[in-house]
Structure 1
Amino acid sequence: APVKPAAPAAGVLWRRGDSGPGVRELQARLRQTQWLFDGPTGTYDDLTERAVSGFQGKRGLPRTGATDTVTWRRLVSMSREPGTWDLYLMGGQPPGAPDPRCLTGRVLCIDKTSRTLRWMVDGRTVSTMAVRFGATGTPTREGVFRVYWKSRHHWSTLYDSSMPYAMFFSGGQAVHYSYDFAARGYAGGSHGCVNVRDEAAIAALYGQVRDGDKVVVHR
C-alpha cells in the first residue's frame, strides 16, 4: 500500500523572544480568553509562553508554548478582533528600541515617547511596564541617574501621598506604584516621578533592583 504522507507540521507564527503588532494582538486575545492577565506588551515573554501552553493543553494541542497556525486559528475563533483599547490597555504605545545607554549592566530604561519602562540586564529586557510622567509644570528629568534609595512603604510628606515601592533616582523623583495612575490612567500626571500602574509588576521589579543600578530617562 502507498505510504500516506505525514501531515505538514503547523508553521510557527511567533515564539518567545519575538515582538511586534502580531504578538500584541495574540496577547490581547489571550487576555479575552482569560489565559493572560498582563499586558499586552508586544513582547513574547515567559508569561505569554505559559499562557499559550495552557491554552494549547486545554484544547488538546501540543503544549509547545509557541503560537503555530493551528493554535492561532483556534484562538481567533474564540475571541473578537481587539480594538485600540485592548491592544494598548497597559502601555499607551508599543515600546521603541531601547536607548543605547541601556544596553550594558543593570538598567531601568525609561522611554518618555512610548511611556514604557524596561528593566534590562546586560542588554536583555527582563520586564516591560507602562509608566506615566510628571505634568507640564513638574517634568520628569531626563538623563542618566542611579538608584540611590529604595523605600518600600514610602509616604511623601511634601505631597501627603503614598508612594509604594519607591526607587529614588534624582532628587525627590522616583519610580513608584501609583494608585491614581491605576485608577485614572493617563488622565493625570505626577509631580515628576515615574508612575507605574501595575502593582504586581513593580513589586517584582522592586525585589530585583538594587541601590546603584542605572536609570536612563530618554525620549
Structure 2
Amino acid sequence: MGSAFLRKSALTAVAGTAVAALLLTGCTAEGTEASERPSDESSQEETDGEGGEGGDEEARDEVLMDFGDETDQVRELQARLLQLEHFAAQPTGYYGDVTLGAVSEYQRAAGMDVSGTVFRSTWDALLGETEDPTQEELFPPQQLMGYGDNSDQVRELQARLGQLDHFTENPTGYYGDVTTSAVVAYQQARGVEATGTVFQETWDALVAETATPTEEEMFPPLEIPEVEPAQELDERCLTGRVLCISKTTNTLAWVIDGEVELTVDVRFGAEETPTREGEFEVYWKSRNHHSTLYDSPMPYAMFFDGGQAVHYSEDFAANGYNGASHGCVNVRDEAAIAGLFDDVVEGDRVVVYW
C-alpha cells in the first residue's frame, strides 16, 4: 500500500477543496491539466481508522494496482474502463499516465476519493458496473501508434500528415489530441476506418503518398522572442523557499532565502485562460501527472492554485512561445524541472507577478 495509502491519509483541508477546481480548470502542454486528490474528510476517517478496527479498513481498501504496474489485471482494468469510455487507448497491461488519468476520472464520476490508484473498493465498484472483457477487448488488433505514444515514429507521422495539410503544428513526437484529430481527418479522406489510431493499413497508405520527411520537417526551427532584460526579484521572493515567477521576463527562479538556485524559461496561459497572479503555495506534487480534462501529459506537475501548476511541456519545448497553456506555468527544460521537482516540497511558496 505504501505511498498511495499515505498520500490518501495525510492531506490538508485546502487540498480537498482544490480537487474540484483541479478537475474543472486543468491545463496542458498544448494547454493542459487536471487530476485529483482525496478529500480531507475521507482522509480524516482513514486516519482515525488506523489502529483498533483500522486493520479491517485497511484490508478492505488495499492497493491492487498502481502506477508502474504491468500485469494481466491492469489489462483487464483498462478494458473495463474502456467499456465506460474512461480509457482513451488500447489495453496494454501497463499502468502509465493514461491509465492513471482514466482511473482518476472513473473515481471522480463514481463519487470516490480521487487518487488514480486502484484500491479494492475501486476495483469492486468497477466490476459491478462492467462486463467481463472479451478476448478481443483485452487483445485488440495491434496498433503501430496511438494516443499517449511519444516517439520519433510519431514525429515522422506528424511530418507526413503535415505534407498533406492534415497536421498544421510543428512535430513534437507526442500523440495527443491534435495528432488524433489529424489522423481521423486523414483516414476519413482516404476511406479508411476513422479510429484516430494508426494501424498498419493507415500507415501503409500514408507512407505511399508522402515523401520521407526531411530533418527540417521533423525538427523545424523555432521562433522564440527575446526575453526582457533581467529584473530584480519581487520582494515576496526574498525570504524562505519560493518559486518566483515573472510574467515580464518569462522566467521562473527557484529562490531560497534570497539566493537564486535555478532560473528557467516559462510560458503562461492564453488571454482567455490566464495564469493567475498572486502569492500561493505548492499544495500537491504529481510526477507522472496526466490531465483528465484534456487527456494530455503534465510531467513534474507542482499544483499551486486549483488546476494551475508548474510542469514540463513538450509542446513548449517543441514550439516555443508559438502557443500557450490553459493557465499553467509551462517549463521547456525537462532536466531542469525534473531536478526542481525533487527539490520543491509541498508548502513551498509560489509568487506569480508582473
Both structures adopt the same fold (TM-score exceeding 0.5) = yes
- Whole-Å Cα distance in 1 between the matches of residues 291 and 335 of structure 2? 21
1:114 aligns with 2:246: no
- Residue 179 of structure 1 aligns with an amino acid whose one-letter code is E
- Note if contact 1:108-1:215 (Cα within 8 Å) is conserved in structure 2: yes
Equivalent residue of 1:187, what SS? coil
- Whole-Å Cα distance in 2 between the matches of residues 91 and 165 of structure 1? 26
Aligned to 2:344: 209
Q: Which 5+ residue runs of structure 1 have no aligned equivalent?
A: 1-84
- Whole-Å Cα distance in 2 between the matches of residues 164 and 131 of structure 1? 15
1:132 aligns with 2:296: no
- Note if contact 1:143-1:217 (Cα within 8 Å) is conserved in structure 2: yes
Deviation at 1:89, TM superposition (A): 6.6
What per-residue deviation string (whole Å, max 9, x for no partner) do you get for residues 170-199 of structure 1? Answer: 000000000000000000000000000000
- Residue 312 of structure 2 aligns with an amino acid whose one-letter code is Y
- Identity rate, percent: 66
What does 1:141-156 correspond to in 2, within 5 Å? 141-156=276-291
- Residue 211 of structure 1 aligns with an amino acid whose one-letter code is E
What does 1:49-88 correspond to in 2, within 5 Å? none
> What's the TM-score, normalizing by structure 1?
0.58
Aligned to 2:313: 178
Pair 208,91 (structure 1): closer, same or farther in 2 beyond 3 Å = farther
> What's the TM-score, normalizing by structure 2?
0.36
- Whole-Å Cα distance in 2 between the matches of residues 116 and 90 of structure 1? 13
- Whole-Å Cα distance in 2 between the matches of residues 131 and 91 of structure 1? 13
- Whole-Å Cα distance in 2 between the matches of residues 112 and 165 of structure 1? 21
Deviation at 1:134, TM superposition (A): 0.2
Aligned to 2:331: 196
Aligned to 2:114: none
- Note if contact 1:95-1:116 (Cα within 8 Å) is conserved in structure 2: no
- Whole-Å Cα distance in 1 between the matches of residues 334 and 225 of structure 2? 12
- Equivalent pairs counted in the alignment come to 133
Pair 89,134 (structure 1): closer, same or farther in 2 beyond 3 Å = closer
- Note if contact 1:163-1:177 (Cα within 8 Å) is conserved in structure 2: yes
- Whole-Å Cα distance in 1 between the matches of residues 307 and 283 of structure 2? 11
Equivalent residue of 2:319, what SS? helix
**Max Rg structure:** 2
- Whole-Å Cα distance in 2 between the matches of residues 205 and 152 of structure 1? 11
| Partner residue of 1:157 out of 274, 292, 313 | 292
- Note if contact 2:225-2:321 (Cα within 8 Å) is conserved in structure 1: no
Q: RMSD over aligned Cα, in angstroms? A: 1.8
Aligned to 1:59: none
Could you say which structure has the higher helix fraction?
Answer: 2
Equivalent residue of 2:335, what SS? helix
Q: Which 5+ residue runs of structure 2 have no aligned equivalent?
A: 1-220
Pair 139,150 (structure 1): closer, same or farther in 2 beyond 3 Å = same
Could you say which structure has the higher strand fraction?
Answer: 1
Deviation at 1:96, TM superposition (A): 1.5
